[in-house]
A and B are shown apart, each in its own frame.
Chain A
Amino acid sequence: MLVVDDLHASIGGTEILHGLSLEIGDGEIHAVMGPNGSGKSTLAHVLAGRDPYQVTAGRVLYDGADLLAMTPEERAAAGVFLGFQHPVEIPGVPTMYFLRTALNALRRARHHEELGPVEFLALVDAKRRLVDMDRSLLDRAVNDGFSGGERKRNEILQMLVLEPRLAVLDETDSGLDIDALRVVAAGVRSLRAPHRSAVVITHHRRLLDHLVPDQVHVLAGGRIVRSGGADLAAELEAHGYAGVHEPGAEPHPVSTATAR
């Protein structure tokens, strides 16, 4: 589904990603872990098409198409979803209206009929129960005054409503209480399907215990320095990243799963 090949990306003239490669197959969940500042959010933003990031080399193929040539809204229409590490506040725009605008924009792009108010309400009501989000939050402006956890639940709600083909979740589990963590995991699992995939960026093994990813990657210094199975998360938790990102000084050999 997604092939990231030797991606170099910079911001403000500073190169952050130094030749990152990653391959994700249909129906797979991949976890990306790595130290602060290593470039995880940069990768997520580049995949979603955020403006100030510049791709200086490499390519990204999404279902064989050149993802980097698409506008953010085209990527969304093609099924790419970014769960933001820091969801943005939009004063004056009710969450419900935001959701409906988004869903109907996607439906239009896909030549589906727009959802009427009644159908939409029913849809959102069902999804919001899954993420255990209070109805009153939906009447408030997007993320305006939301707590950290409420914002993350809102990201998951959006994902459930928009049903992406490729979800990139950037630390959606950070700042969540234990129940919310289960909610996020359940949300991701509920979308699991042979044609859907997810990239889950996280610092915590807990979420991965719930999700059981197909692969775990370590992103350090702007590259994937190590990849492995679900058990790699436990290992990282025990030993930390020390040494992992020094190529040649790796205490553990790269596991059999391909990092491409």
Chain B
Amino acid sequence: MTATSRSVPARTPPSGTAGAVAVDAPDRPWEPRWLNVARRRAAAWVEAHGFPTVKHEDWRYTKIDAALAVPLAAPPQGAVGDVDTLALADLPTPPLGGVRVVVVNGRVAAGLSSTGGALAPGMRVEPLADALHKSQGSLEQAWGWHADGYAHALRALNDAATLDGVLIELAAGALVEDPIEIVYASVPAPGAGWSHPRVVVVAGAGARATLVETYLSGPSGSSVTNAVTQVHLGQGAELEHCVLQGAGMDSFCFSSLEARLARGSRLSSRLLATGGRVGRHEVDVVLADEGAELSLDGLFLTGAGQHHDNPVLVDHAAPSCTSRQLYKGVVSGDGHGVFNGHIVVRPGADGTDAAQVNKNLLLSDRAEVDTRPRLEINADEVACSHGAAVGQLDPDALFYLRSRGVSEGEARAVLVSGFAREVLDRFGRGSIRGRAEELAMAAGLLALGEDGHGDDAVTAGLARARPGGR
């Protein structure tokens, strides 16, 4: 179950074997020249390397063939006009109180977005399509991250094909209290293809903010989202980041968080994945300078017919940085969960403190989990630990609950909730936590208090479980 790799981690891929793909990267005269060059370079990369197959180390368990049946191109301009008509009722409620940007089929829907009142001083939020028209230094840098090659074609494809998204810039010292919210919605549209939304967050020294990204899609129709969120934290900056993946059961949701952490900066990123036929949330963080801190938490609730893949690369490139990872998976039916976590401690990154834990609960005998925590240490005086566990519901605990009168279905849900709580608690206690619990409840595996946040669950009403789950 545990595999250790001694090779230096690949940011360059093994040779791809997928068939030839032609990626359109037409010149966009309205965009700056550097971007045209970067897009062509990325498109050429995809053509040269092809799409990842199961032979690709990080795609061993995730097949994308079915997603490739959907056209790679973004929806035509015409389809985007409809996005403002998406019923507001379909968007998550209540709003989190800050800026909300709604991205429909890869395009910002201005009519659904709002600034949530006055912007905090020092914060700039702009649709990416607008920002790309101008020559933004921060965007040029963002496109330069993979100038010497990509990890896989989906990442390159986003560079080549993204049309829109959000640019968030925080000036040095900016403190943004209310969460910045981005909602990605996929709605059926004639000729809709893959969407490649892109978010770039650049936080100046000491800036602080919270970013919540929610993935949704309509109940019908197959859609493919290939989102990239890039985060650059300046010295001492702090970002709280949450990803709520509640995409429709027939959709493919590929998302990727890439972060570079400067000296003394802090990133906390949490994932809750319940949706999608295939959900793959990739995390790639470089702790680039001394004293940076990273905390990653993930909870995937993977039901029948679903596949959730969680590739994580934490790169300790500087001394005295700290990273913590806690990923938990609950897999039922014939679902398949994957945790593929890799910690690399580079030469010279002395005093690294890194820990990685992955625990999984299998709720049926057809459920499957693959967990591969990997640790690669090339420095001295490091404290690194990793562990993985795969188990089933504790029969003693199940009997304990049943002996108190709780039905078997509800008892199972209570135990699953107990297992999940540790990660849900990391979503805090406010409205984001509420959103996360709602999503988790909708997955049908949990029994949480009706309005129960954390320990408040005890005073909240009893939520009756949906027996049997999915």
A contact set with B: CB distance below 8 Å: 48-51, 71-73, 75-77, 81-82, 84, 87-94, 96-98, 100-102, 104-106, 109, 114, 116-117, 121, 138-139, 141-142, 158, 162
Contact = CB atoms under 8 A, between A and B. Distances in A.
Given A94-B458, A100-B462, A121-B459, A49 B417 contact: no
B458 A105 contact: no
Interface string B310-335: 00000000000000000000000000
Interface stretch (B230-238, B262-270, B403-411): B403-411
Contact of B395 (A51, A89, A94): A51
Contacts of B394: 88, 90
B461 A162 contact: no
Closest 4 CB pairs of A and B: A92-B418, A96-B458, A76-B405, A102-B404
B455 A94 contact: yes
A90 B415 contact: yes
Nearest to B395: A51
B460 interface: yes
A127 to B, nearest CB: 15
Nearest to B459: A117
B401 to A, nearest CB: 7
Interface of B is mostly: helix
B160 interface: no
B461 A73 contact: no
A105 B414 CA distance: 12
Given A90-B394, A91-B422, A101-B410, 11 more contacts: A72-B403, A75-B403, A87-B400, A88-B397, A92-B420, A98-B404, A98-B414, A100-B458, A101-B414, A114-B461, A158-B404
B400 A116 contact: no
B409 to A, nearest CB: 10
Nearest to B454: A94
A76 B458 contact: no
Interface string B56-68: 0000000000000
Contacts of B414: 90, 93, 97-98, 101
A117 B460 contact: yes
B143 interface: no
Nearest to B416: A92
Nearest to B411: A73
B161 interface: no
Contact of B405 (A88, A94, A106): A106
Contacts of B461: 114, 116-117
Given A72-B403, A101-B447, A109-B405, A92 B457 contact: no
B90 interface: no
* Chain B interface residue number, banded: 20 to 34
27 contacts: A48-B399, A49-B403, A51-B395, A73-B407, A76-B405, A87-B400, A88-B394, A88-B399, A88-B400, A91-B419, A91-B422, A92-B417, A92-B418, A92-B419, A93-B417, A93-B418, A93-B421, A94-B455, A96-B458, A97-B414, A98-B401, A100-B458, A101-B410, A109-B405, A117-B459, A121-B459, A162-B405
Contacts of A114: 461-462
B418 A141 contact: yes
A120 B202 CA distance: 49
Interface in B183-236: none
Nearest to A50: B399
Contacts of B399: 48, 50-51, 72, 88
A92 B446 CA distance: 12
B412 to A, nearest CB: 12
A73 B408 contact: yes
A88 B462 CA distance: 22
B449 interface: yes
A106 B407 CA distance: 10
Contacts of A49: 402-403
B396 interface: yes
Contacts of A101: 401, 406, 410, 414, 447, 462
Most A CB within 10 A of own CB, among B407, B410, B418, B458 = B458
Contacts of A102: 401, 404-406
B417 A73 contact: no
Interface of B: 394-397, 399-408, 410, 414-415, 417-422, 447, 449, 452, 455, 457-462
B457 to A, nearest CB: 5
A84 to B, nearest CB: 7
Given A94-B455, A94-B457, A101-B447, A71 B418 contact: no
A92 B420 CA distance: 8
Nearest to B423: A92
Contact of A97 (B400, B404, B407, B449): B449
Contacts of A104: 462
A102 B397 CA distance: 13
Contacts of B452: 97
B415 A93 contact: yes
Contacts of A139: 455, 458
Contacts of A88: 394, 396-397, 399-400
Contact of A48 (B403, B421, B455, B462): B403
A77 B404 CA distance: 8
A206 B402 CA distance: 31
A77 B405 contact: yes
B458 A138 contact: yes
Residue with the highest number of chain B CB atoms closer than 10 Å, among A51, A102, A158? A102
Which interface residue of A71, A96, A97, A98 has the most chain B CB atoms within 10 A? A97
B447 to A, nearest CB: 7
A24 to B, nearest CB: 19
Contacts of A106: 404-405
Nearest to B400: A88
A114 B415 CA distance: 21
Contacts of B403: 48-50, 72-73, 75-76, 81-82
Contacts of B420: 92
A50 B410 CA distance: 17
A70 B410 CA distance: 18
A71 B402 contact: yes
Contact of A91 (B405, B410, B418, B459): B418
Nearest to A77: B405
B327 to A, nearest CB: 16
Contacts of A105: 404-407, 410
A186 to B, nearest CB: 22
Contacts of A91: 418-419, 422
Nearest to B421: A92
